């Protein structure tokens, strides 16, 4: 049980770091909270809530992975490297793909409710 509690403590420390020091994570968190507020306001059904929660968790997880990859790259090489640049750029692209898909899903869910 102690190990389980400790693993949650480590995860919470990671979340604190992510949202304290990573600007993009802060932006994603802002839009996550906004989406949750809108979902509550527009009284989304359970399927719509599931879509919102999955989108939020995917984007925030991708941002956490991206941050981890970038920090690891920084440990591997302090010098500028084309290989490292490609790794960082592709990792950032993954977050962007999910953010765009989530934005489109948000439009599909919220625009019709706003027009009612």
The model carries a pTM of 0.93
The string of pLDDT tens digits covering residues 60-100 is 999 999 999 999 999 998 889 999 999 999 999 999 999 99
Q: Which residues contact 78 (CB under 8 A, 6 or more apart)?
A: none
How many Cβ atoms are within 10 Å of 104's Cβ, its own excluded?
Answer: 11
Query: Does residue 116 have a pLDDT over 90?
Result: no
Write down all domains in the chain, each with its CATH number in brackets. 2-115 (1.10.287.3610)
């Amino acid at each position: 049980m102690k190990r389980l509690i400790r693993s949650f403590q480590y995860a919470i420390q990671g979340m604190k770091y992510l949202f304290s020091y990573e600007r993009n994570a802060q932006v994603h968190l802002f839009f996550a909270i906004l989406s949750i507020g809108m979902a509550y306001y527009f009284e989304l059904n359970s399927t719509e809530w599931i879509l919102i929660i999955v989108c939020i968790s995917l984007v925030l997880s991708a941002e956490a992975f991206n941050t981890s990859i970038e920090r690891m790259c920084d440990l591997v090489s302090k010098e500028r490297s084309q290989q490292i640049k490609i790794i960082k750029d592709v990792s950032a692209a993954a977050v962007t793909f999910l953010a765009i898909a989530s934005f489109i899903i948000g439009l599909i869910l919220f625009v019709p409710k706003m027009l009612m």
